Amino acid sequence: MAKPLMAKATAVWLVDNTTMTFKQIADFVGMHELEIQGIADGDVAAGVKGFDPIANNQLVQEDIDKAEKDPTVKLTLKYYAAAVGEEKRRGPRYTPLSKRQDRPNAILWLVKFHPELADSQIAKLVGTTKPTIQSIRERTHWNISNMQPIDPVALGLCKQIELDAAVQKAAAKKAKDGQPMDDDERRKLLSTEQSLGMDTEPKIPTAIEGLETFSLSGDLDEDDDKADENIDADSFFNLPEGGDDEDDEDEQP
């Protein structure tokens, strides 16, 4: 169901000016019933000025009167022809002021880890412009030396499902164009659900290759045992004939 404009302010007005139940108001504005109760108690939306839904062509007085008489009646938005299709308006994604400084870092992350994405896709994901993306690709951005690649999902600039959809679309376009992809590119083009569902293959680290020749008890192979048997420990302590010890004995008075 469509929600009214300025839902919290509309809820404040309905709480102050009607006798409808908290559930009726909550269902109409798309909030939780406990939030409406908090508004009535003064714990929620303190200082928010009420927004009259009747004066703004969102409700009619007759519907409010019916809802006040019957708690089971649900309010519906008044049909407003000028607002039809308003939610489908196309344009750049709005980014809050507190997150706009993080957009270059997100663009750098996308350019580095998903170079297959087109500039138009990156612009749609994080709400930026193509010249900015191009300057970061060419490393001519004025602040490139202080930028760090950060996942735009972690920054809250886009959703993981949106990023996965863009990556999958880029993969389909690349496959259609007949461009070959290596294993690293195929792995990056997988969605989050696909990558999490893959089995991990056990690998032996290269630094300890050869340890598989040892048995579980810690013994060496048979060839190593035979090599140890041929070593005579006494040979390490035999001195050569005519050593320095005999010469020292002859020089003593």
pLDDT at 147 over 50: yes
Q: Average pLDDT for residues 166-190, to the nearest whole number?
A: 70
Q: 3-state DSSP call for residue 9?
A: helix
Name every residue whose Cβ is closer than 8 Å to that of residue 247 and which is 6 or more positions away in sequence.
Answer: none
Q: Domain residues of the chain, as ranges?
A: 7-83, 92-193
The pLDDT score that the predictor gives to residue 170 is 87
Residue 208 or 63, more confident: 63
CB 108 within 8 A of CB 149: yes
| Percent above pLDDT 70 for the chain | 62
CB 38 within 8 A of CB 44: yes
CB 39 within 8 A of CB 12: yes
The pLDDT score that the predictor gives to residue 60 is 87
| Helix, strand, coil percent values for the chain (each to nearest 5) | 55, 0, 45
Instruction: Write down the mean pLDDT value for the chain.
Output: 75
The pLDDT score that the predictor gives to residue 110 is 94
Residue 185 or 41, more confident: 41
CB 58 within 8 A of CB 4: yes
> How does DSSP assign 155-222, residue by residue?
HTSS-HHHHHHHHHHHHHHHHHTT----HHHHHHTS-HHHHHHSPPPP---GGGTTGGGS-TTSPPPH
Query: What confidence tier does 214 reach under pLDDT thresholds 50, 70, 90?
Result: very low
Query: What confidence tier does 171 reach under pLDDT thresholds 50, 70, 90?
Result: confident
Return the top range by mean pLDDT from 54-63, 69-78, 127-136, 237-246: 127-136
The pLDDT score that the predictor gives to residue 138 is 93
Residue 91 or 11, more confident: 11
The pLDDT score that the predictor gives to residue 151 is 92
The pTM of the full predicted model, rounded to 2 decimals, is 0.41
Q: What whole-number distance in Å separates Cα of residue 179 and Cα of residue 45? A: 55
- State CA 154 to chain mean position distance: 4
Query: What confidence tier does 127 reach under pLDDT thresholds 50, 70, 90?
Result: confident
Q: What whole-number distance in Å separates Cα of residue 250 and Cα of residue 187? A: 82
Query: What confidence tier does 220 reach under pLDDT thresholds 50, 70, 90?
Result: very low
Least confident of 111-115, 132-136, 247-251: 247-251
- State CA 246 to chain mean position distance: 82
The pLDDT score that the predictor gives to residue 213 is 46
